[in-house]
Amino acid sequence: MPAIGLGTWDMGEGHAPRAQEADALRAGLDAGLVVVDTAEMYADGGAEEVVGDALAGRRDDAVLVSKVYPHNASRRGVREACERSLARLHTGHIDVYLLHWRGRHPLAETVQGFEDLVADGLIGAWGVSNLDADDLRELGQVPGGKACVTDQVLYNLTRRGPELGVLPAAAASGMSVMAYSPLEQARIFDAPGAEALTTVAARHDATAAQVALAWTIRDGNVLAIPKSASTARVRENAAALELTLTDDDLAELDRAFPAPPRQVPLETL
């Protein structure tokens, strides 16, 4: 899989025409960004409906990821939520199904529900989202918990805390990390240190967004899922796959966007 996919947070909310959003997702698939991430929470299922539109006639082109609300994450609840998502997505299976964040249902019960869905062919694999390093270690002790394939967390140049917690814990468990909001919903371009993005971009005849994405995926174990309803911006994001940052580039970005000196609690949006 490529290290950049397609996010859908805010799709289906009416911020852009639904057809335009679906076109942007199809443009991403055409550019090789095959991972499409969504959730039942996004627009109360509206984003999943947009994804269903985009994948009509080309479901096999995508690796489809969706997420279940924590309050639906009981053993029975994950099945009912998954079936509703499948109906909105117009598909018979979700490739990777995630617990959106930790809630009141025990992890062991959620894992049982996920494993039931795998056994019945409704999902291909399962993972989690917004779980910190301690949560991942606890998950690994739950029966079946080692089957978790990914943790989706907030990670970008301005949110580097996962480097001291989640990323090492995920690597130790053999799972990948998905980075949501890798551009900090465009706020990264106005953040302190943003001039370094422009400087590095100029060296490579690239854009600041491409540099920020290339930085996020630099180590090979992180998949970034930027969201855009613009076909041009999606193609720009895809081009970041061809950008390799030098050691000097990385050092400059480290100076401009330093990692925290010690482990910090996982941030969310």
User: Is residue 31 situated within a structural domain?
Assistant: yes
Question: At 61, which CATH number?
Answer: 3.20.20.100
Is 265 part of any domain? no
Q: Which two tokens stand for residue 97?
A: 């199904």
Would 252 be classed as within a structural domain?
A: no
Q: Half-sphere exposure (CA, 13 Å, Cβ side) for 245?
A: 27
Read off the pLDDT of residues 113-125 as tens digits, 9 standing for 90 and up.
999 999 999 999 9
Percentage of residues in the chain having pLDDT higher than 90: 99
Q: Answer whether residue 127 is part of any domain.
A: yes
Looking at the predicted structure, is the pLDDT value of residue 1 above 90?
Answer: no
Q: Is the pLDDT of residue 91 over 90?
A: yes
**205 found inside a domain:** no
Task: Domain of residue 77: give its range.
Answer: 18-185+216-240
- Decide if 60 is inside a domain: yes
- In sequence order, which ranges of the chain are alpha helices (DSSP H)? 18-30, 46-54, 75-89, 107-119, 133-141, 166-172, 194-204, 208-216, 231-239, 247-256
Given a cut of 90, whether residue 204 has pLDDT beyond it is: yes
- Residue 179: inside a domain, yes or no? yes
**C-beta of residue 39 within 8 angstroms of C-beta of residue 66:** yes
Look at residue 70 and tell me if it is in a domain: yes
Band of residue 127 on the pLDDT scale cut at 50, 70, 90: very high
Residues 5-24: tens digit of each pLDDT: 999 999 999 999 999 999 99
Structural domain total, the chain: 1
Averaged pLDDT, 164-184: 97
* In the predicted structure, residue 226 carries a pLDDT above the cut 90: yes
